[in-house]
Chains A and B, each alone.
Chain A
Amino acid sequence: MLLVAGLATLAGRAAAQVEDHNYSPAAIQTGLRIYSNQCQLCHGPNGDGVAGVNLARQRFKRAHTDDDIRATISNGVSTAGMPSFRFQPEQLDGLVALIRSGFDTSGAPITLGNPARGRAIYEGKGGCPACHMPKGEGPFNAPSLAEVGSTLQPTAIQRYLLEPTKAMLPLDRPAVILMRDGRTLRGRRVNEDTDSVQLRDQGQTLRSIAKADIKSYELGKTSAMPSIAGKLTPAELADLMAYLLSLKG
């Protein structure tokens, strides 16, 4: 049983890799209209309203392919309390487009080039390995991109490349913490509550810091990542995008 289930999952993943990520702005808008009326109450405005599921970030409990998503919507998940929905094919396409766009309703067109050429740009002209570690090697200054192709949507990746500061999520703001004992800690925030901050420091050590021990705590509003806007030709950007999307862990 387990083996069979495992094979089915692998098959699903393989199929997912052939999705073309080309969803029209019109389809995304159609999806948004249906989503906000029928789905948002449970799944939330950003698709993360159900525990263990994040539609915008492609974290599903059972779906892998676009057809899996269509089937889940059409059949429902009775054990989880999700009803079945009767939608027209173009409505289902719209919901898939909304989900696959990462809920990016701007529907910015993405062009994908050649991943092999993209890798050369990544390592050469792009200068990305100076901070990122695509395969678990290299410096730790920036998030690993080992799974970026499955965790972020093309529009989100492109936004990071072109406007890194605007794309930076609040949790990812670089933290500079001056401790009462005189130490300065720098790193990326991992979690935070009223009393404490959890930090991955520049040496990749996971630290938990009591706010009572903090003298000052600053969160940078500017991403340390330089924008590649104007530095790459459109064709080079398309190649780089294709390479990044191929990184699926």
Chain B
Amino acid sequence: MRLAVLRRVFALAAAVLAGAFAVLPAAAQPVARPVTGTRIEKAAGEPANWLTYGGGYDSKRFSTLSQITPANVKNLQSQWVLQDNVVGVWEANPLVVDGVMYVTQRPNDVVALDAKTGRVFWIYHYVASPDAKVCCGANNRGVAILGDTLYMGTLDAHLVALDAKTGQLLWNTAVADVKAAYSITHAPLVVKDKVVVGVGGGEFGIRGFVAAYDAKTGKEAWRFNTIPGPGEPGHETWADDAWEHGGASAWMTGSYDPELNLLYWGIGNPGPDWNPAQRPGDNLYSDCVVAIDPDTGKLKWHYQFTPNDGYDYDSVQVPVLADIPWNGKPTKVMLWANRNGVFYVIDRVTGKFLLGQPFVKVNWMSGFDANGRPIQTPQPEGAATYPGNQGGTNWFPPSYSPRTGLFYFSVWENYATIYRREESKYEEGKTFLGGGFSVLSPAPGSPTPGIGRKSPINTWTNETGSGATVAVDPHTGKRVWTFPQFDVTEAGLLTTASNLVFTGGREGFVYALDAKTGKELWKAQLGGQINMAPVTYSVDGKQYVAVIAGRTLVSFALRD
């Protein structure tokens, strides 16, 4: 295990720390209030803050802040910029607590800064083991907070707790073995007195799990294996010993319903990724949403989106919890736009499938049976599968606005992949993929989109896939509007009570759209790809919208 070290970057750090809470607007924002479980449960009631990854346990990413409106959004102006030395895509989601922002930067720094000025209070620097391996970038998507403590998962699969006031390390727990290529890239979720995280490593033959740790001590409270072991229900969905290295990672943050006391988590693809013949069976709980008792880690129900997946259709999307009328009755549902190209509505009390409707071209399935199981239509060898391996959408967080009743997310249109399947042999810490793939393109050897944008010149063009922001009516699964973009997009969504949608894309534009029509109301060019969902907060009565593009975090507010 390597020791984490604290690095103070500014000579004045100590002075700032000592004076920070006096400098902040103490009268308007009582800063010393710890973030209790009750506060997180009622996060929607304090829209000045952004207290969890999804802006609240329901992960709606909907804010009741309404100072910025469709009429005045054109007056947004950059208030401050945090520029950073991040190399690679910056996917972090800031938290804002009483005027202080906490954001992570690659691979595992935590930065505490003044949400009003962008001035940094402290930086915590964690040195991950050199053995850390991730398939798709040394990402970290953020921290969780409880009381005065911050929690971060690390690239080498540790969970660390920090004092939110000083950035001092409080405890450091090994969650999984880095040598077997386990990692943590998502923001943890605090539920009551526990911190819940899942593990990445689905491309390296891990056996996935979601686990809860005592928030005070870091001691493991429970572990839910996302691949059932011998004797456990679901184990029969794996042939022979395929379960031992079957992936089923959990690399995004889940959601929680305090009333039902159920924790919902999206589970990743089975491994080896592209050779389902090597692991016959449904491969539970890969590509599932699981509902877990947060006190015990026991499974309550599951729904599997893509049984025996051969396309890398991770179902790690953030579960969005909404209460909407369904067949005339108020219903607790979960809204889910899956990487497999299908939008789902699921009863979150029982796990019952209510609706499944493709939102992009889909040819891996042709519909559903009576139980909501997809009727799969594997394409012949050499033929293209829609959507392609990065999905019709992916991990980038969606948003639901109770004001419009619409569900918003980013999609990849006309994007397809040709798979090549072969046997893979498991070796610890090595990739375990079961073949390879190529993205469908109009000319041999054409550049095609992949994970993150690599060049300022768009050589791949929209002929290999293009992006769009869409609004879907949960009752039909049909698009209400589409805001097309030329390049594909990995931006998440934010909606507000004034019927604004904020998002971005790989081209560096941050957009404000009309939530009802999709009309572009405002945009700014930030020069770097946006691979996160903008967040909103307020300090001293002023509403801000913060977005990360390239290597900069920019906070906008209305011009004075």
- Chain A residues within CB distance 8 Å of chain B: 32-33, 35-38, 40-41, 44-46, 48-51, 56, 81, 83, 102-104, 106, 156, 159, 166-171, 189-195
- With contact pairs A37-B424, A194-B484, A194-B486 given, residues A171 and B445 touching in the complex (Cβ less than 8 Å): no
In chain A, what residue has the closest Cβ to B87? A51
Check B435 against A194 for contact (C-beta < 8 Å): no
Inter-chain contacts of A40 with B (CB < 8 A) = 433, 436-437
Inter-chain contacts of A193 with B (CB < 8 A) = 458, 486-487, 507, 509
A44 and B459 CA atoms in complex are apart in Å by 15
A190 and B458 CA atoms in complex are apart in Å by 8
Q: Which of A36, A190, A191 contacts B436 (CB 8 A)?
A: A36
Check B443 against A166 for contact (C-beta < 8 Å): yes
Q: Which of B43-51, B116-124, B142-150, B446-454 participates in binding chain A? A: B446-454
Check A104 against B444 for contact (C-beta < 8 Å): yes
Check B445 against A56 for contact (C-beta < 8 Å): yes
Nearest Cβ distance between residue B255 and chain A, in whole angstroms? 29
Query: B514 interface residue, CB < 8 Å from A?
Result: no
Inter-chain contacts of A48 with B (CB < 8 A) = 447, 454-455
Q: Which of A37, A56, A102, A169 contacts B431 (CB 8 A)?
A: A37
Check B507 against A168 for contact (C-beta < 8 Å): no
Check A45 against B433 for contact (C-beta < 8 Å): no
- With contact pairs A44-B450, A45-B436, A194-B486 given, residues A103 and B445 touching in the complex (Cβ less than 8 Å): yes
Query: B464 interface residue, CB < 8 Å from A?
Result: yes
Inter-chain contacts of A83 with B (CB < 8 A) = 133
In chain A, what residue has the closest Cβ to B457? A191
Check B436 against A170 for contact (C-beta < 8 Å): no
Nearest Cβ distance between residue A84 and chain B, in whole angstroms? 12
Nearest Cβ distance between residue B374 and chain A, in whole angstroms? 26
- With contact pairs A45-B450, A170-B446 given, residues A194 and B461 touching in the complex (Cβ less than 8 Å): no
Inter-chain contacts of B447 with A (CB < 8 A) = 46, 48, 169, 171
Check A50 against B454 for contact (C-beta < 8 Å): yes
A239 and B454 CA atoms in complex are apart in Å by 37
A87 and B505 CA atoms in complex are apart in Å by 39
A190 and B422 CA atoms in complex are apart in Å by 38
A45 and B440 CA atoms in complex are apart in Å by 11
Q: Which of B436, B439, B444, B456 contacts A167 (CB 8 A)?
A: B444
Check B444 against A159 for contact (C-beta < 8 Å): yes
Known contacts A156-B445, A169-B445, A171-B461; can you find 11 more A-B pairs with CB under 8 A?
Answer: A36-B420, A36-B437, A38-B431, A46-B445, A48-B454, A51-B455, A192-B486, A193-B458, A193-B486, A193-B487, A195-B509
Of B422, B436, B439, most buried by chain A (CB within 10 Å of CB) is: B436
In chain B, what residue has the closest Cβ to A152? B445
- With contact pairs A41-B431, A192-B461 given, residues A169 and B507 touching in the complex (Cβ less than 8 Å): no
Q: Mark B417-431, 1 if CB is under 8 A from A, else 0.
A: 000101010000011
A-B contact count (CB 8 A): 102
Check A45 against B431 for contact (C-beta < 8 Å): no
Query: B136 interface residue, CB < 8 Å from A?
Result: yes
Check B460 against A170 for contact (C-beta < 8 Å): yes
Query: B129 interface residue, CB < 8 Å from A?
Result: no
Inter-chain contacts of A171 with B (CB < 8 A) = 447, 457-461
Inter-chain contacts of A35 with B (CB < 8 A) = 436
Check A41 against B484 for contact (C-beta < 8 Å): no
Check A167 against B443 for contact (C-beta < 8 Å): yes
Query: B135 interface residue, CB < 8 Å from A?
Result: yes
In chain B, what residue has the closest Cβ to A193? B507
Query: B168 interface residue, CB < 8 Å from A?
Result: no
A171 and B56 CA atoms in complex are apart in Å by 43
A44 and B439 CA atoms in complex are apart in Å by 10
Inter-chain contacts of A56 with B (CB < 8 A) = 445
Count of chain B residues near A, Cβ 8 A: 43
- Chain B residues within CB distance 8 Å of chain A: 133, 135-136, 138, 203, 420, 422, 424, 430-431, 433, 435-439, 441-448, 450-451, 454-461, 463-464, 484-487, 505, 507, 509
Check A104 against B454 for contact (C-beta < 8 Å): no
Of B420, B443, B461, most buried by chain A (CB within 10 Å of CB) is: B443
A168 and B443 CA atoms in complex are apart in Å by 6
Nearest Cβ distance between residue B449 and chain A, in whole angstroms? 10
A159 and B446 CA atoms in complex are apart in Å by 13
Check B442 against A170 for contact (C-beta < 8 Å): yes
Inter-chain contacts of B461 with A (CB < 8 A) = 170-171, 189, 192
Check B484 against A46 for contact (C-beta < 8 Å): no
In chain B, what residue has the closest Cβ to A78? B130
Inter-chain contacts of A49 with B (CB < 8 A) = 450-451, 454
A153 and B448 CA atoms in complex are apart in Å by 18
Inter-chain contacts of A38 with B (CB < 8 A) = 430-431
Show 23 A/B contacts (Cβ-Cβ < 8 Å), sorted by A: A33-B422, A33-B436, A35-B436, A36-B420, A36-B433, A37-B424, A37-B431, A37-B435, A41-B135, A46-B448, A48-B447, A48-B454, A49-B450, A49-B451, A50-B454, A51-B455, A169-B445, A169-B446, A170-B443, A170-B446, A170-B464, A171-B457, A191-B456
A103 and B445 CA atoms in complex are apart in Å by 7
Check A169 against B439 for contact (C-beta < 8 Å): no
A128 and B448 CA atoms in complex are apart in Å by 30
Inter-chain contacts of B505 with A (CB < 8 A) = 194
Inter-chain contacts of B446 with A (CB < 8 A) = 46, 169-170
Q: Which of A36, A45, A103, A104 contacts B439 (CB 8 A)?
A: A45
A246 and B458 CA atoms in complex are apart in Å by 29
In chain A, what residue has the closest Cβ to B422? A33
A189 and B458 CA atoms in complex are apart in Å by 10
Inter-chain contacts of A50 with B (CB < 8 A) = 454
A167 and B431 CA atoms in complex are apart in Å by 33
3 nearest CB pairs, A to B:
A36-B436, A170-B461, A170-B463
Check A190 against B444 for contact (C-beta < 8 Å): no
Check B438 against A46 for contact (C-beta < 8 Å): yes
Inter-chain contacts of A36 with B (CB < 8 A) = 420, 433, 435-437
Check A45 against B460 for contact (C-beta < 8 Å): no
A183 and B408 CA atoms in complex are apart in Å by 39
A36 and B312 CA atoms in complex are apart in Å by 14
A191 and B487 CA atoms in complex are apart in Å by 11
Nearest Cβ distance between residue B465 and chain A, in whole angstroms? 11
A195 and B458 CA atoms in complex are apart in Å by 13
A32 and B431 CA atoms in complex are apart in Å by 15
Inter-chain contacts of A81 with B (CB < 8 A) = 138
Nearest Cβ distance between residue A159 and chain B, in whole angstroms? 7
Check A41 against B203 for contact (C-beta < 8 Å): yes
Inter-chain contacts of A37 with B (CB < 8 A) = 424, 431, 433, 435-436
